[in-house]
Amino acid sequence: MEAVLSELEVALGHGFSRPELLTRALTHRSLANEQALEKGDDQPSGDNERLEFLGDAVLGLVVAEAMFLLHPEWQEGELTRVRAQLVSRQHIADVAASVGLGRHLLLSRGEDRSGLRRKGTVLSNTMEAVIGALFLDGGLEPVRAFIRRHVIGEAAEQLARELRSGDALGNYKSALQEHLQAARSGTPVYKVKCESGPDHRKRFLVEVRLKPEDGEPGRPLARGMGSTKKHAEQDAARRALARLTAGNNRADDTAEYPEEEESAAQ
C-alpha cells in the first residue's frame, strides 16, 4: 500500500504527512460496506464521501480564484462559463485519468470486477475526494499547484481562445447545462409554450425547467423568445444562467418575463 500511495503522491505533487487521508480519499463506499459486512458492523465507515464533499467546494474556490486572477478582463458570465467547464464531471474525470487515479481506487471485489474503476462519475468523485485530502493535509498551496497544473493547464487557454473568438459566448444552452452540472442540480429541459405569426415571421416562447436527476421536470428557471425554437431556447438559457449566477433561484419568479410578452407571442 505504501508503494501505491507513493506513486500517486508523485503524480499529485505532494507527499502526505497523514497518508491515512489519501487512503480514505481512495476508498469507495462499496469497499467500506464490504468490510463492514465482514466485521459484522451495522454502520459502515471509512469511505471517501465526506472528503468528496469538501473537495468539491475547494475545487470550485481554487478554480474561481485562478480564473479571477488570470483574466481580469473577463466579466462574470465569462468567468462562470469557464469555471463550469473546468469543474464539470467530465473534465475532472479526464484529470483523474491523466494522473492514473483509477488503478489506485480501493473498491469491493464485486465492483472491481464490474469495471467501476473506469466509470467517469466514480473517477470524478474520487478526484474531488483526493483534492479534499490534499487540502486537509497541506492547505491550499498543494491544491493550487495541482489544479493549476492538471485542472486548468491547457484547458483554460483553449477556453480563453474560444471566448475571444466568440465561439463559446453564444452557446448559452451549453453554459447553462455546465453550470447546473457543476452544481449537481440536474439538467435543463426546454418546452415551447406558444408560437405566433406567419411562417416567415414566426415567434416562439420557450420555457426552460430544471429536471432533477431522479424526477420529472421541476421548477421553471426562465423563458425566452426568438424567431426560431433554437433561438428561443438560447434566450431562455441566457436568462436562466443570468438569474442563477446572480443568486436568484426562486421558482416562482417570473418577473423577468412579463405576462404581456407571452400574450404577444400567442
| 152 and 245 housed in the same domain | no
Count of domains observed in the chain: 2
Asked if residue 147 and residue 33 are part of one domain, the reply reads yes
Are residues 68 and 124 located together in one domain of the fold?
Answer: yes
Q: Based on the domain organization, do 147 and 185 belong to the same domain?
A: no
Residue 195 pairs in a beta bridge with 204
Asked whether residue 114 falls in the same domain as residue 179, the answer is no
In a domain, residue 233? The reply is yes
Q: Which of 47, 78, 128, 207 is catalytic?
A: 128
Beta strands in 186-253 (DSSP E): 187-196, 203-211, 220-226
Are 143 and 189 in a shared domain?
no
The span from the first CA to the last CA of the chain, in angstroms, equals 67
Claim to verify: residue 42 and residue 152 sit in the same structural domain: yes
pLDDT given at position 7: 87
Catalytic-residue membership of 56: yes
Can you give the residue range of the structural domain that contains 119? Answer: 2-165
Q: Is residue 244 a part of any domain in this protein?
A: yes
The pLDDT profile of the chain, 266 residues, written as one tens digit per residue, is 566 678 899 999 999 999 999 999 999 887 777 665 666 555 546 789 999 999 999 999 999 999 999 888 877 777 887 888 889 888 899 999 999 998 898 888 777 677 777 888 899 999 999 999 999 999 999 999 999 999 998 777 777 666 655 544 457 888 888 788 777 778 899 999 998 888 777 889 999 998 876 666 678 899 999 888 888 998 898 889 888 876 544 433 433 443 434 444 44
Q: Alpha helices of the chain — where are they, by DSSP H? A: 2-12, 19-26, 29-39, 49-70, 76-86, 89-98, 109-114, 120-138, 140-146, 153-165, 172-183, 229-245, 259-265
CA neighbours within 13 Å on the CB side: how many for 242?
11
Q: Give yes or no: residues 11 and 139 share one domain.
A: yes
Q: Is residue 266 part of a domain?
A: no
* Closest to 248 in 3D by CA, of 221, 210, 218: 221
pLDDT at 58: 97
Query: What is the per-residue pLDDT for 178?
Result: 77
Does 64 lie in the same domain as 12?
A: yes
3-state secondary structure of 38: helix
CATH (domain of 239) = 3.30.160.20
- Residue 160 within any structural domain of the chain: yes
Specify whether 180 is located in the same domain as 161.
no
Determine how β-strand 220-226 pairs with β-strand 203-211.
antiparallel
Ordered DSSP codes for 97-128: HHTTGGGG-B--HHHHHHTGGG-HHHHHHHHH
Question: Last residue of a domain, which of 165, 192, 226?
Answer: 165
Q: Are residues 184 and 148 in the same domain?
A: no
The reply to whether the predicted model has a pTM over 0.75 is no
State whether 102 and 42 are in the same domain. yes
- Per the annotation, the verdict on 213 as an active-site residue is no
46: left (phi over 0), alpha (psi -120 to 50) or beta: left
Residues 56, 178, 207, 235: which is the catalytic one? 56
HSE on the CB side for 165, CA within 13 Å? 9
- In a domain, residue 132? The reply is yes
Q: Which three cell numbers stand for residue 178?
A: 455546465
